[in-house]
Structure 1
Amino acid sequence: MTNEQIIFTESMNLMEKGIIGNTGRKIVVENEAGEKKEIFEPEKIHTYAGWKAVGRQVKKGEKSIAAFQIWKHTTKKPKKEDEEEEEKMFLTKAFFFRECQTEEKR
């Protein structure tokens, strides 16, 4: 699963539990059996760094609404000149926030 798929699945679970809301827009999703259904799109959630990348700052004192594992990509620099860079992917726990927990960066 990609991070986008993981976050969407978790967003759907959070919306069903009433932790986050929806955008008011409907989307069509297809399940594993090929059945399509129309559902409301969950509101956006991002990590601290994700909100920062889109020009928003998580407000001081806000607690994350969810924590789950996503993929992280790293590149290890070579220690010796004849070695190559080492790329790794691993699962790491990330903490997510709603947009209402953020403000525009100044």
Structure 2
Amino acid sequence: MKNEDIIFSNRIELMKKGVIGKTGKLIPVEDEQGNKKFIEEPEQIHTYAEWKRRGFTVRHGEKAVSQFPIWKRSNKANEERSDASGNMFMKTAFFFKQSQVEPTEEIAAVG
């Protein structure tokens, strides 16, 4: 399973539990039998580093809304942590929702 799939399924579960909100958009999803249906899109969640890469910063004092393992790339050649791809391993990451971040100064000045 790819990180995108891992994060999406966790977003759905977090939305069902009321931990994160909805975007107000409907998105198509396909079940195991190939049937398509539309569900409400859950609020975006990303790691601190990913929000930063996207031009946002997590507000001071905010706590992660969830934590779960995702694939990380290793910079070291370590056979113990290798899988079939050679340098990927699972690591717990901490996720923040969109309402916990704000644009960085550079983004805010442009927008």
**Residue aligning to 1:70:** 70
* Structure 1 or 2: more helix by fraction: 2
Give the structure-1-normalised TM-score.
Answer: 0.87
Write the letter of the residue equivalent to 1:19: V
**Paired residue type of 1:104:** P
Task: Give the 5 Å matches for 1:12-23.
Answer: 12-23=12-23
User: Matches of 1:102 and 1:22 in 2, distance apart?
Assistant: 16
TM-score calculated relative to the size of structure 2: 0.83
Q: Percent identity?
A: 52
Query: In angstroms, what is the RMSD of aligned CA positions?
Result: 1.1
Matched residue, 1:104: 103
Point out the structure with the larger strand share. 1
1:89 is aligned to: 88
User: For structure 2, which runs of at least 5 residues remain unmatched after alignment?
Assistant: 78-85, 106-111
Question: One-letter code of the match for 1:101?
Answer: Q
Larger Rg: 1
Q: Could you tell me how far 1:75 is from its partner in structure 2?
A: 2.5
Q: Which residue in the other structure is 2:56 paired with? A: 56
> How far apart in 2 are the matches of 1:75 and 1:63?
28
Deviation at 1:7, TM superposition (A): 0.2
User: Tell me, what secondary structure is at the counterpart of 1:50?
Assistant: helix
3-state SS in 2 of match to 1:76 = coil
Are 1:39 and 2:21 matched, yes or no?
no
